[in-house]
């Protein structure tokens, strides 16, 4: 398992993902940064600041969340799905977010089947 440390709305949080998927999440967030200024929507979703990636954590603060990757990607998808975009092809960004979301959902289903 890998952990991505993000800063968002003046809070720190960790996102936990299997190592094989961490690169995809980091690349997705970097792409969103490159494309966000092209959106014509009056409101633009906030994006997290990438801080660090690590293989283990030991938390001492109660106010720092550790979110499963699927939960975080779903929240990200909801932010972009709410946009009222008229010019920029938002669908391409949503497609990338939803592709990672689908992979993580499949991974979770496989893990649940293994447990059962």
Domain that holds residue 101: 2-115
Per-residue model confidence as pLDDT tens digits over 28-66 = 999 999 998 888 888 888 999 999 999 999 999 888 899
Number of folded domains that form the chain: 1
Dihedral in degrees, nearest 10, Cα atoms 94, 13, 22, 56: -170
Lowest-pLDDT range of 6-10, 86-90, 111-115: 86-90
With residues binned 3-state (H G I as helix, E B as strand, rest as coil), the percentages for the chain, rounded to 5, are 50, 20, 30
What pLDDT sits at residue 116?
65
Q: Is the pLDDT of residue 95 over 70?
A: yes
Distance (Å, rounded) from C-alpha 28 to C-alpha 22?
10
Burial class (CB in 10 A: 0-12, 13-18, 19+), 82: exposed
38-41, long-range: CB within 8 Å, 24+ apart, which pairs?
Answer: 38/88, 39/83, 39/85, 39/88, 39/90, 40/85, 40/86, 40/87, 40/88, 41/83, 41/84, 41/85, 41/86, 41/90
Q: What is this structure's pTM? A: 0.89
Judged against a pLDDT cut of 70, whether residue 96 lies above it is answered with: yes
Rounded CA-CA distance 74/62 in Å is: 23
């Amino acid at each position: 398992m890998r952990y991505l440390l993000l800063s968002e709305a003046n809070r720190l949080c960790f996102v936990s993902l299997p190592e094989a998927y961490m690169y995809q999440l980091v690349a997705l967030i970097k792409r969103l940064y490159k494309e966000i200024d092209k959106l014509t929507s009056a409101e633009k979703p906030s994006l997290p600041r990438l801080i660090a990636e690590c293989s283990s954590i030991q938390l001492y603060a109660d106010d720092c969340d550790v979110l499963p990757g699927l939960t975080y990607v779903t929240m990200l998808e909801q932010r972009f799905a709410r946009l009222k975009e008229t010019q920029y092809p938002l669908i391409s960004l949503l497609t990338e977010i939803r592709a990672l979301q689908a992979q993580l959902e499949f991974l979770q289903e496989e893990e649940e089947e293994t447990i059962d």
